[in-house]
A and B are shown apart, each in its own frame.
Chain A
Amino acid sequence: MATAEDVVLEARGITKIFGNHTALKGVDISFRRGEVHALLGENGAGKSTLIKILTGAYTPDGGTIELEGQPVSFTTPQQAQALGIGTVYQEVNLLPNMTVSDNLFIGRQPSAFGMVNRSATDAMARTVLAQYGLDIDVRAELSTYSVAIQQIVAIARAVELSGKVLILDEPTASLDRHEVEKLFEIIRTLKARGLAIVFITHFLDQVFELSDRVTVLRNGFRVGSEPVSALDRTGLVRMMLGKDLVHHNNGPVDGEPDGGDVLMSVRQLGLTGSVLPLDLEIRKGEVVGVAGLLGSGRTEMARLMFGIDVADNGALHIDGESRVVRSAREAVSLGFGFCPEDRKADGIFGDLSVRENIVIAMQARLGWFRALNRDEQLEIAGNFIEALDIRTASAELPVKLLSGGNQQKVILARWLATDPRFLILDEPTRGIDVGAHAEIVRMISRLREDGLALVVISSELDEIVSYSSRVVVMRDRALVAELRGADITPSRIVQAIAGQGVENVA
């Protein structure tokens, strides 16, 4: 159905080398008019490198790029944009403190005698956004709108500026289901207008829902380009991983949830303005899944348990003894560990090496004076790099150079090195690739079998169902339900989040 004439952008034999590492090896790819082309691959497969080359942010070390049959080479994103290739990044990179219409037309506002014609700009902005079904106050600051609307503004700007190829880098990562639908509608409209759309995502469902063609990268090679109609889920996953993924067998976790000893029990624990008083028991050898929407108080609950915030109400018992956990340090000394939701802001030490990132919690527990020497550090780091299959060229690499999934594993390794008995994982699989995702899910189950107590917060219900011995549901800062056994199903959790037909915890 697509002929060679439909090809807008074609790259052949793209090669990119960073130091000793070859990020892309002879990758061929072509994008056609009126087609949504999904670009898939695990983190570190070379997706972002390829995108950066196609948009002029990187210069390739080999290969050619043709735009509508003409060879092109650009050295800056501005050149690529001027030739018709626009990009919208995951983190919207507009100007949050300027108005919507400024963001759309900055640098090319209609003007007379050197003065910007505001009302003309605003009218143009309204016309443009109307095409996207958006009727908003274009004079308001961009930051006053939701991420979804900011994203649409970013898309509108990219399309206005470029108009031939639109590259969307994980556009759905921070959107809710409704917003994703809206975005997809817009993408379909743009597709009908004849744009070539490149779509990068981690969600396989979205690939099948939206895309016409899929290209999979692995380790810098192109594994294949196929029309979506020729693929099924398993086939796609196999292409990405190069092996059959043992897909997590959903179903309630075996074993008696009330079997282990109670490690922590909280009674009416709460913090004004953060979490309403709640009761919860956490036992050794079980995973307590925490479900709830963003802002439901799930992260805040975890922060109370780990001493980052201090409760102003209720009591906390550990091993039957009443304790007040006043700081993360006290929590760590009790054998707790916490993988925070925002990996970059609260988790990793970007410039420090993988080795230092792994040993830091253990060293913090030992104190400054009893230092692990370099050999000990290397051995500990090496063991965990191997055990958790952390993909890094060396233990001395700054951790910021690793992919998201591997950074998450480094943080897990950091806590496992302290030999914890209680781990809190806040969104441990957010924004990481399929392979690492499955590994982390498997690891959670393995740690439970080893007798650890775990609290895992996640927005992915399938995932929660697959590893939880019990699920608690948070809504409006309160713990509203506790599900056990056969009740642990995605639909029951959704009901509880929505507040229908649930028994309140007595």
Chain B
Amino acid sequence: MKRLQLTEIVRPQLLALACILLLNWFVFPGFFTITWQDGRLFGSLIDVINRGAPVAILAIGMTAIIATRGVDLSVGAVMAVAGAVAATAAVAGQPLVVTLIAALLVGLLCGLWNGSLVAFLGMQPFVATLVLMVAGRGVAQLITEGSIVTFSDPALIFVGTGSLLGLPMPAVIALALMLAAHLVMRRTAMGLFVEAIGTNRSAASYTGLRTRTVILTLYAFGGLCAALAGVIAAADIRGADANNAGLWLELDAILAVVIGGTSLLGGRFSIPMSVLGAVIIQAMNTGILVSGLPPEFNLIVKASVIILILVMQSDRIGEIVARRFARLKLRGKT
């Protein structure tokens, strides 16, 4: 009865990434060149993981939420709020620890707000998080008082532009967070609970799972991730722009999760694959940038690649391929 999925033969995401990187290499021969300078690595590849880090961090938080059939549309706005909080704190002369804690705490609160609406009031996640998606930018503008708050705290700037072991800070943070989240999901029973709730929420509560608490926790974690991404984005440009920080990034994050193979209908999920999805998206962005094509192409190319990946993941295609294989096998036997 086991249906052979194409995804089990070759991970289409890896294939897609390889194709995109190759294409990038064709249009920009220096794409794979990596140099060591001033104690850190430079090059287009490094740029991909550095620029992709904010979306990757959002996707880490988004994955488990989507696995419970939810979605968090507010992460872009939460990025703006957290960036505004961090910038204001830095301008007020607070040390990095206080700045970080304040920003992350605000993100956590945003996540708890979303989670409460979804888990306890039973609102549709789409609508529940839409509230904060709209209101969040308003809150961020109130915090920055309508202007772009710039800061010069070197410690905070280091979070966005510094490097550790030769790798850019945002990438280091994203990788560490990915590892930590993956371990928590798979080494504890959290991953199983999330997948059980996403597969059949009613059965999960009959089984005695704290479905509401789990869902609340996931949205809270999503808020935390969004705040972290917001701090990185603000530190990168040394300022908080309430209007543009994280704008539309919630869509990229959802896309990254879906490219990574987590279904919007909930169930099975993989955080590392979502991060891979974010890298794929950024590889496309960077490729178009370095190729010298007008950035408008970005959107079209992105859409085409996404369609390609989704087609490769579809059950239908998997079935057709499996049937071909079965026929070949049968013919081989007789």
> Do residues A328 and B208 form an inter-chain contact, with CB atoms below 8 A?
yes
Find residues 337-364 in chain A having any chain B CB closer than 8 Å to their own CB: 338, 340, 345-352, 356, 359-361, 363-364
In this complex, what residue of B is CB-closest to A359?
Answer: B192
> Do residues B326 and A346 form an inter-chain contact, with CB atoms below 8 A?
no
Task: Give B247-270 as 1s and 0s: 1 = Cβ < 8 Å from A's Cβ atoms.
Answer: 000000000000000000001100
> Do residues B196 and A328 form an inter-chain contact, with CB atoms below 8 A?
no
Task: Give B200-229 as 1s and 0s: 1 = Cβ < 8 Å from A's Cβ atoms.
Answer: 101111111110001000000000000000
Chain A interface residue number, banded: 35 or more
**Contact flag A331-B1 (CB < 8 Å), given A17-B326, A349-B199:** no
Which residues of A lie under 8 Å from residue B203 when comparing CB positions?
345-349
The listed residue with most A CB atoms (<10 A of its CB), out of B196, B207, B214, is B207
> Do residues A19 and B1 form an inter-chain contact, with CB atoms below 8 A?
yes
The CA of A19 and the CA of B204, in the complex, are separated in Å by 31
Find residues 293-340 in chain A having any chain B CB closer than 8 Å to their own CB: 308, 327-329, 331-333, 338, 340
Tell me, yes or no, whether A393 is within 8 Å of chain B by CB. Answer: yes
In this complex, what residue of B is CB-closest to A367?
Answer: B189
**Contact flag A356-B192 (CB < 8 Å), given A329-B209, A349-B200:** yes
Which residues of A lie under 8 Å from residue B195 when comparing CB positions?
349, 352, 356
Q: Which of B1, B207, B267 contacts A360 (CB 8 A)?
A: B207
Find residues 283-334 in chain B having any chain A CB closer than 8 Å to their own CB: 322, 326, 330
The CA of A23 and the CA of B322, in the complex, are separated in Å by 16
| Interface 9-mer from A116-124, A159-167, A368-376 | A368-376
Which residues of A lie under 8 Å from residue B188 when comparing CB positions?
368-369, 371
Q: Which of B187, B199, B210, B330 contacts A329 (CB 8 A)?
A: B210
> Do residues B1 and A328 form an inter-chain contact, with CB atoms below 8 A?
no
Which residues of A lie under 8 Å from residue B210 when comparing CB positions?
329
Tell me, yes or no, whether A108 is within 8 Å of chain B by CB. Answer: no
The listed residue with most A CB atoms (<10 A of its CB), out of B1, B4, B200, B205, is B1
> Do residues B199 and A360 form an inter-chain contact, with CB atoms below 8 A?
no
The CA of A318 and the CA of B210, in the complex, are separated in Å by 22
Tell me, yes or no, whether B151 is within 8 Å of chain A by CB. Answer: no
Q: How far is the CB of A325 from chain B (nearest CB, A)?
A: 11
Q: Is the interface of B mostly helix, strand, loop or mixed?
A: helix
> Do residues B2 and A368 form an inter-chain contact, with CB atoms below 8 A?
no
The CA of A307 and the CA of B221, in the complex, are separated in Å by 29
> Do residues B189 and A18 form an inter-chain contact, with CB atoms below 8 A?
no
Tell me, yes or no, whether B19 is within 8 Å of chain A by CB. Answer: no
In this complex, what residue of B is CB-closest to A340?
Answer: B206
> Do residues A393 and B208 form an inter-chain contact, with CB atoms below 8 A?
no
> Do residues A20 and B208 form an inter-chain contact, with CB atoms below 8 A?
no
Which residues of A lie under 8 Å from residue B267 when comparing CB positions?
351-352
Q: How far is the CB of B327 from chain A (nearest CB, A)?
A: 9
In this complex, what residue of B is CB-closest to A332?
Answer: B208
> Do residues A368 and B189 form an inter-chain contact, with CB atoms below 8 A?
yes
Q: How far is the CB of B21 from chain A (nearest CB, A)?
A: 32
Task: Give B1-31 as 1s and 0s: 1 = Cβ < 8 Å from A's Cβ atoms.
Answer: 1111000000000000000000000000000
Q: Which of A17, A351, A364 contacts B268 (CB 8 A)?
A: A351
Tell me, yes or no, whether A366 is within 8 Å of chain B by CB. Answer: yes
In this complex, what residue of B is CB-closest to A343?
Answer: B203
Q: Which of B4, B192, B206, B209 contacts A19 (CB 8 A)?
A: B4
Q: Which of A356, A365, A371 contacts B187 (CB 8 A)?
A: A371
Tell me, yes or no, whether A401 is within 8 Å of chain B by CB. Answer: yes
> Do residues B200 and A350 form an inter-chain contact, with CB atoms below 8 A?
yes
The CA of A356 and the CA of B196, in the complex, are separated in Å by 9
> Do residues B2 and A19 form an inter-chain contact, with CB atoms below 8 A?
yes
Task: Give B108-144 as 1s and 0s: 1 = Cβ < 8 Å from A's Cβ atoms.
Answer: 0000000000000000000000000000000000000
In this complex, what residue of A is CB-closest to B186?
Answer: A371
> Do residues B208 and A21 form an inter-chain contact, with CB atoms below 8 A?
no
Number of A-B contacts (CB under 8 A): 100
The CA of A447 and the CA of B195, in the complex, are separated in Å by 31
The CA of A41 and the CA of B156, in the complex, are separated in Å by 70
Which residues of A lie under 8 Å from residue B204 when comparing CB positions?
349, 360
Find residues 258-317 in chain A having any chain B CB closer than 8 Å to their own CB: 308
Tell me, yes or no, whether A414 is within 8 Å of chain B by CB. Answer: yes
Task: Give A400-428 as 1s and 0s: 1 = Cβ < 8 Å from B's Cβ atoms.
Answer: 01000000000000100000000000000
> Do residues A328 and B205 form an inter-chain contact, with CB atoms below 8 A?
yes
The CA of A194 and the CA of B18, in the complex, are separated in Å by 63
**Contact flag A364-B208 (CB < 8 Å), given A346-B203, A349-B199, A371-B187:** yes
The CA of A367 and the CA of B192, in the complex, are separated in Å by 11
Tell me, yes or no, whether B190 is within 8 Å of chain A by CB. Answer: yes
Which residues of B lie under 8 Å from residue A17 when comparing CB positions?
326, 330
> Do residues A61 and B330 form an inter-chain contact, with CB atoms below 8 A?
yes
The CA of A348 and the CA of B267, in the complex, are separated in Å by 13
The CA of A363 and the CA of B208, in the complex, are separated in Å by 10
Which residues of A lie under 8 Å from residue B322 when comparing CB positions?
19
Which residues of A lie under 8 Å from residue B196 when comparing CB positions?
349, 352, 356, 360
Which residues of A lie under 8 Å from residue B326 when comparing CB positions?
17, 19
The CA of A98 and the CA of B187, in the complex, are separated in Å by 51
> Do residues A21 and B2 form an inter-chain contact, with CB atoms below 8 A?
yes
The CA of A368 and the CA of B209, in the complex, are separated in Å by 10
> Do residues B2 and A414 form an inter-chain contact, with CB atoms below 8 A?
no
In this complex, what residue of A is CB-closest to B193?
Answer: A368
Q: How far is the CB of B331 from chain A (nearest CB, A)?
A: 11
Which residues of B lie under 8 Å from residue A328 when comparing CB positions?
205-208
Q: Which of A346, A360, A369 contacts B202 (CB 8 A)?
A: A346
Tell me, yes or no, whether A83 is within 8 Å of chain B by CB. Answer: no
Which residues of A lie under 8 Å from residue B214 when comparing CB positions?
368
**Contact flag A364-B209 (CB < 8 Å), given A352-B196, A401-B1:** yes
The CA of A361 and the CA of B192, in the complex, are separated in Å by 11
Tell me, yes or no, whether A397 is within 8 Å of chain B by CB. Answer: yes
Which residues of B lie under 8 Å from residue A368 when comparing CB positions?
188-190, 193, 214
Which residues of A lie under 8 Å from residue B200 when comparing CB positions?
345-346, 348-350
Which residues of A lie under 8 Å from residue B187 when comparing CB positions?
371
**Contact flag A345-B202 (CB < 8 Å), given A329-B209, A368-B189, A401-B1:** yes
**Contact flag A351-B199 (CB < 8 Å), given A17-B330, A21-B2, A356-B192:** yes
> Do residues A21 and B209 form an inter-chain contact, with CB atoms below 8 A?
no
Task: Give B64-102 as 1s and 0s: 1 = Cβ < 8 Å from A's Cβ atoms.
Answer: 000000000000000000000000000000000000000
> Do residues A347 and B206 form an inter-chain contact, with CB atoms below 8 A?
yes
Task: Give A6-27 as 1s and 0s: 1 = Cβ < 8 Å from B's Cβ atoms.
Answer: 0000000000011111010000
Contacts A349-B203, A351-B267, A397-B1 known; 6 new A-B pairs at CB < 8 A = A17-B326, A19-B2, A332-B208, A368-B214, A369-B189, A371-B188
Pairs A–B under 8 Å by Cβ, sample size 10: A18-B2, A19-B4, A308-B205, A308-B206, A346-B206, A351-B268, A367-B189, A372-B189, A393-B2, A397-B2
Which 9 A-B pairs rank lowest in CB-CB distance, beginning with the nearest? A332-B208, A371-B189, A349-B199, A329-B208, A364-B208, A19-B2, A364-B209, A368-B189, A371-B188
